[in-house]
Amino acid sequence: MEMNDMIMVSIDDHYIEPPDMYDNHVPEKYKDQAPKLIRNEHGIDEWVFQGDKASTLLGLGATVGWPKNEWGFNAGSLSELRPGCFDVHARVRDMDANGMLASLNFPTMAGFNARTFAEAPDKPLAYIMLQAYNDWVVDEWCAEYPGRFIPQGVVPMWDVELAAAEVHRMGKKGHKAMSFLETPHSKGYPSFLSGYWDPMLKALCDENMVLCLHIGAGYDVIQTPKEAPVDHMMVLACQISAITAQDLLFGPTLRNFPDLKVALSEGGIGWIPFYMDRIDRHVDNQSWLDHGNDFNGKKPSDIFREHILACYITDPAGLRLRDRIGIDNIAWECDYPHTDTTWPYSPELAWGEFMDAGCTPEEINKITFENACRFFDWDPFKYTPREEATVGALRAKATDVDVNRMPRAEWKKQNEAAGIGVW
């Protein structure tokens, strides 16, 4: 096996939603009340809904086109971004240039837990727009290029019965996953241990959808010094995945829902061998706590492997311990267009780590696409023959794609001259 033979499916990327996303999915009488992307007097683009600015920044870390000295958390305007951030046609071209077959994308404007809608005062209207959002994902972004995207939606956090109903609706439309808070209690919602979310979790099992718990929203679960720099948030975010796993394993969730599938999106894998050793010894050593019935005679690490997909961008240490994690439980991510993305050299970086860890071709295939496709019940070759899905074959179609970075001012000049990112 050579690098160009790999097939790469990323289960963690992000889109910057385009301004026309609601045009085709909102009933006529509500169209003037849909979220709108507004360019303010300072030239900054802001999503506005029900009179308030969305809590999530427009270009949250969408730095894929910029040199490092211009990286930041927010762009001033859509036109400053590489078009692949918000234009599906440009995105697919960027995926080809990266040798990447398919991608699962997380929200930006809506937030991982649809907070833009959850924080809006008019909840019936918010629910209409949330449903329109999910329809745009599957009917436009994903449908434009069948076989290149795994559809994922969001749910109304303010009403668990509505959330369950939306999961059923999404499942019937073809969504394969749902984005949700990794530690809902950290944002004032009931925890996974509370049982409150059970109707939604049952719906996920019924629809064979994956619960995707992305890092970043659970940062409030730890207390850092008031002087802590932003580095704390970015470095420690992956460690919060261990808290999420603990809530799921040592609470009723996985006992009550033996078919539930959970992806720890962008959670990394290096922490998992230690965590597994710790929980297994804990249950054995602290038998006086009577965990016997909690794991049905199994080790908690076995339950982890039965339910949880561990997701990483780069993780040399974790790959060296892949057998301890479970080779069927590891999946690769690209994280386009954020600062952590490996685009446009994902194959080179992933291949280098595989070679350093001594991975076999069979293990590489599991990590780069087979595990993810099995977990999300998604056929990678339904629309693309296997021989056309490899790194080499996809890159051969995109030799004209310019992967160089440019200052944001240059993107703005070039995009606006072409009418891109303006409306």
CB 12 within 8 A of CB 311: yes
CB 92 within 8 A of CB 384: no
Picking from 403, 383, 391, the residue whose alpha carbon sits closest to that of residue 341 is 403
Instruction: Answer whether residue 111 is part of any domain.
Output: yes
In the prediction, which pLDDT does 54 show? 78
pLDDT for res 74: 73
Looking at 232-348, which runs of residues are DSSP E strands? 261-264, 308-312, 330-332
Contact 39, 130 (CB under 8 A): no
If one counts every other C-beta atom within 10 angstroms of the C-beta of residue 106, the result is 23
Q: Which two tokens stand for residue 98?
A: 């990266």
**pLDDT confidence of residue 414:** 96
Prediction pTM value: 0.96
* Pairwise CA distance, residues 351 & 141, whole Å: 29
Domain CATH code at residue 194: 3.20.20.140
Q: Residue 118: its pLDDT value, please?
A: 95
The DSSP call for residue 191 is: P
Largest CA distance in the chain: 70
Model pLDDT, residue 237: 82
CB atoms within 10 A of CB 376: 25
Using CA atoms, how far apart are residues 57 and 111, in angstroms rounded to an integer? Answer: 9
For residue 206, the one-letter residue type is D
Q: For residue 43, tell me if it sits in a domain.
A: yes
Query: Would you say 140 and 155 are in contact if contact means Cβ atoms under 8 Å apart?
Result: no
**237 within a domain of the structure (yes/no):** yes
* Domain span holding position 318: 3-418
Judged on CB neighbours under 10 Å (0-12, 13-18, 19+), 360 is: exposed
pLDDT score for 322:
98
- Report the C-alpha gap between 78 and 16 in whole angstroms: 9
Strand partners, 38: 46
Q: ∠ at Cα 47 (419, 118), nearest 5°?
A: 145
> Residue 208: inside a domain, yes or no?
yes
In a domain, 265, yes or no: yes
pLDDT digits (tens, 9 = 90+) for 142-176: 999 999 999 999 999 999 999 999 999 999 999 99
DSSP string, 324-372: HH-GGGEEE---TTSTT--TT-HHHHHHHHHHHHT--HHHHHIIIIIHH
Q: Give the 3-state secondary structure of 158-183.
A: CCHHHHHHHHHHHHHHCCCEEEECCC
* Low-confidence spans in the chain with pLDDT less than 70: 75, 292
pLDDT at res. 101: 98
423 domain residue, yes or no: no
Is 127 part of a structural domain of the chain? yes
Structure tokens given for 64: 């894929």
Residue labelled with tokens 């404007």: 109
With respect to residue 193, please indicate whether it lies within any of the assigned structural domains.
yes
Q: What pLDDT does residue 259 have? A: 97
HSE-up (13 A, CA, CB side) for residue 176: 19
How many folded domains does the chain comprise?
Answer: 1
Q: By the 8 A CB rule, do 145 and 93 touch?
A: no
Give residue 94's pLDDT: 98
CA 289 – CA 144 distance, rounded (Å): 53
> Please, which residues bridge with residue 39 across strands?
45
Count CB neighbours of 417 within 10 A.
10
Order of all β-strands in the sheet with 149-150? 9-14, 102-106, 149-150
Report the side by side order of strands in the sheet with 330-332: 152-153, 177-180, 210-213, 261-264, 308-312, 330-332
